[in-house]
Structure 1
Amino acid sequence: MIDVLLQTLPFFAVIGLGFGAAARGFFPPEATAYLTRFVFYFALSAMLFRFSANLGLSEVVSWPFIWAYALGGGAVYLLATAVALFRRRGLEEAAVEAQCAVIGNTGFLGVPMLALLMGEAAIGPVMLVLAVDLFLFGSLIVILITGSRDGRISPAVLGTVGKGLITNPMIVSMALGFAWAASGWALPEPVSRFLDLLAGASTPGALFAIGASLAAKSAERIRTAVWLSFAKLILHPLAVGILAFLVFPVDMFSASVMVAAAGLPVAGNVYILAQHYGVAPQRVSSAILISTSASILTVSAILAWLSP
């Protein structure tokens, strides 16, 4: 556990550095927004394109993996929804809380950290986790909130979901990478070096941006945020782990990557959606702050448990 903690600590130290810089005003909110945009649209996209262009779609897609992750996440999603409805929070707030329980910071934290700690072989499973999060759970919150407000699921809602997917740079970069891999052509050396250079900025940039964004988060409705953090950091990896290790024929390494990815803290894009729809943004803010802080120990513990 201590050895793994020492391995993960530098990643969280960069997050802490970003938090400190933003908290002291040295790195203003405008700088955080532009750094996040750079990482999201350029550095991280370059990393995902490079990996997918060298892998190919057939090497990534595994239906047992998809079923294990989707059903495990779905079980936690339903539980979080049921708890919210039991507290009489309404469907919109339930959808936001359920999103907190299953959407981890896979893009900004999971891709760079797990690739370095578990090896480049982890990239395929991590990208599959990211794809399920974006296509399945990322669509659900839009459908549920918009459908709840309109009283029905209209074609316009599905159009909004589709537009959000095809304009997401992470999806676009992976799709273009797989398309390139399908062509059978090797990346030209100058292009490969360009992608390596740009992708190299994704890990420190993403971690620093996470920390800087946390400085603007507030801790309110602590009890609910603690419950959502527990669901994300403990119940989510537990649920997908049971299905991946015991039910579906997922190979041991891919199952380990899946569980590690499921144990990541609540993603920042959940806050963006909550703020966009005006549904419980403070609650999400608290869940992100608490889950990210606690994940220093929980992620290390999960990785230590998964280590051979």
Structure 2
Amino acid sequence: MTHFLTAVNAVIPFLIYITFGYGVKASGMMDEAFARRLNKLIFQAFFPIMMFYNLYQTQETPMRMGRLVVVGIAGEVVLIALLLAVVPRLVKENDRRGVLIQAVYRSNFVLFAVPLTESIFGPSGLTVASMMVAIVVPFYGATAVIILEHFRGGSFHFGKLLIKVLTNPMIVGAIVGGIFLLLGIRLPACVEKPVSQFSAATTPLALFILGGTLQFSSLKSNLRFIIPAVFMKLVLIPTVMIAVSIAVGMEPLERFVLLTMFATPTAAASFPMAQNMGGDGKLAGELVVCSTLVSVVTIFLWVFGLKSAGLI
């Protein structure tokens, strides 16, 4: 019963935030244009503060992260290589190939990893998850640009790509937070309190807006792509990575952060990126929607199962 309640407590807040956002939009109080503007505001203004504060407020050096980083990034690289080899053989349209590949490997790690890990492991989990976000987000962004450019027949410039990654608001926040942490710089109490409050508001707002952007148009015609992609994203690949984590002897916190990297839904950012880079935007949006809704169930089952097995 304890493990069941742990799983419920980890997942239900996400469901409430998303459902509330969807309900507000359905009531007519929020339209799509407003939701897009607010979403942009949250990612450019609130997420940097959250990334900064998550690193700034830690009082202890996090556990050694070398193994987690190596296994996580190596797993993503192998997965991308397999998808690049298999997807073009099964899907004929270039505008769908890149969309499907990024939908399977690119997770909504930013929105889900930090609050999920904190809810189960507390402050130590918060710090490790935040540091992994700072590493994984630029990796996701850079590889997605390369893949989508490849399938629309374009090219990319390394210098521009590097600048884009380093100027990502979340990465800037993480870098500044890391500097404050390493140098022991402390904010005045009158500044630290609002920074803390802005940080705490970020995840509920982001999930609220995610719910407000959910759309269910023309799902039927794309189910042949959506069903296998979502199954791989939320069930098959996480199963493989959990097996890998056991084989290399990961600790429970490491294992759970790895799980949030591979078992969370498709990144919401993949939708606008696909739209702006010649991909099938409608399919990209439906993959985000379906994987988000299904993940409420699968994340609950993962947390409950791993807790019951004593693996987290």
Normalised to the residue count of structure 1, the TM-score between the two structures is 0.88
User: Post-superposition shift, 1:252?
Assistant: 2.6
Alpha-carbon distance change, 63 to 217 in structure 1, aligned in 2, over 3 angstroms: farther
Q: Deviations over 1:176-205 (max 9, x none)?
A: 100111212223212210211211211220
Partner of 1:74: 77
Partner of 1:87 in structure 2?
Answer: 90
Change (3 A) 1:267 1:78: same
- The CA RMSD measured in Å over matched residues stands at 2.5
Q: Is the 8 A contact 2:148 2:278 kept in 1?
A: no
**For the Cα contact (< 8 Å) 2:105–2:233, is it kept in 1?**
yes
Instruction: Letter of the 2:134 partner, please give it.
Output: A
Q: Which amino acid aligns with 1:29?
A: E
Q: 1:56–1:241: structure 2 CA closer, same or farther, 3 Å change rule?
A: farther
Question: Structure 1 residues 303, 190: closer, same or farther in 2, change over 3 A?
Answer: same
**Aligned pairs (5 A) from 1:120-131:** 120-131=123-134
Report the equivalent of 2:286.
286
CA separation of 1:191 and 1:30: change in aligned 2, threshold 3 A: same
Contact 2:54 2:126 in 1 (8 A): yes
For 2:63 and 2:47, locate their aligned partners in 1 and report how far apart those are by CA, in whole Å.
18
| Shift of residue 295, structure 1, vs aligned partner | 0.8
**Which among 2, 5, 20 is matched to residue 3 of structure 1?**
5
**What is the Cα deviation at residue 218 of structure 1?**
5.2
With over 3 angstroms needed to count, the CA separation of the structure-2 counterparts of 1:33 and 1:39, relative to structure 1, is same
Distance 2:207 2:132 in 1: 19
Cα separation, partners in 2 of 1:283 and 1:147, compared to 1, 3 Å = closer
Specify the alignment match of 2:109 in structure 1: 106
Hey, what's the Cα distance between the residues in 2 that align with 1:186 and 1:226? 49
Distance 2:184 2:298 in 1: 41
Instruction: Report the Cα distance in structure 2 between the residues aligned to 1:10 and 1:216, rounded to whole angstroms.
Output: 22
Could you tell me whether the CA contact under 8 Å between 1:114 and 1:122 is conserved in 2?
Answer: yes
1:199-221: per-residue Cα shift (whole Å, max 9, x none)? Answer: 12112201101101113765241
1:201 counterpart SS class? helix
Q: Distance in 2 between matches of 1:218 and 1:53?
A: 44
Instruction: Give the deviation of 1:71 after TM superposition.
Output: 1.9
Query: 1:275 matched to which residue of 2?
Result: 275
Which residue does the alignment assign to 1:119?
122
CA distance in 2, matches of 1:306, 1:121: 19
Deviation at 1:277, TM superposition (A): 0.6
| Correspondence list, 1:258-273, <5 A | 258-273=258-273
Query: SS of the counterpart of 1:59?
Result: coil
Equivalent residue number for residue 145 of structure 1 = 148
What is the distance in 2 between the residues matched to 1:201 and 1:216?
27
> 3-state SS of the aligned residue for 2:187?
coil
Amino acid at match of 1:284: A
Contact 2:96 2:283 in 1 (8 A): no
Q: Which secondary structure does the structure 1 equivalent of 2:265 belong to?
A: coil
Within 1, Cα distance between the matches of 2:114 and 2:94?
A: 31
The residue number in structure 2 matching 1:209 is: 209
For 1:278 and 1:185, the matched residues in 2 are separated by 45
In structure 2, the partner of 1:230 is 231
Instruction: Call closer, same or farther: CA 1:61–1:160 in 2, change over 3 Å.
Output: farther
Kindly tell me: are residues 195 and 217 of structure 1, through their superposed partners in 2, closer, same or farther at Cα, counting changes over 3 Å?
A: farther
% identical aligned pairs = 22
In structure 2, relative to structure 1, the CA distance for the partners of 1:143 and 1:57 (3 Å cut) is: farther
Distance 1:48 1:224, change over 3 A: same
* Matched letter for residue 146 of structure 1: E
* Distance in 1, Cα, partners of 2:100 & 2:152: 17
Distance 1:72 1:140 in 2: 14
Letter in 2 for 1:232: K
Q: CA deviation at 1:278?
A: 1.9
Write the distance in 2 (CA, Å) between the matches of 1:148 and 1:137: 17
Q: Distance in 1 between matches of 2:97 and 2:58?
A: 38
- Comparing 170-179 with 283-292, which one deviates more in the overlay? 283-292
Within 1, Cα distance between the matches of 2:107 and 2:153? Answer: 28
Q: Quick check: 1:53 aligned with 2:50? A: no
Q: CA deviation at 1:92?
A: 5.9
Q: Is the 8 A contact 2:216 2:286 kept in 1?
A: no
Amino acid at match of 1:103: R
Residue 42 of structure 1 pairs with residue 45 of structure 2? yes
The residue aligned with 1:301 is 301
Aligned length: 304
Q: Which is worse superposed, 129-138 or 256-265?
A: 129-138
TM-score by length of 2: 0.87
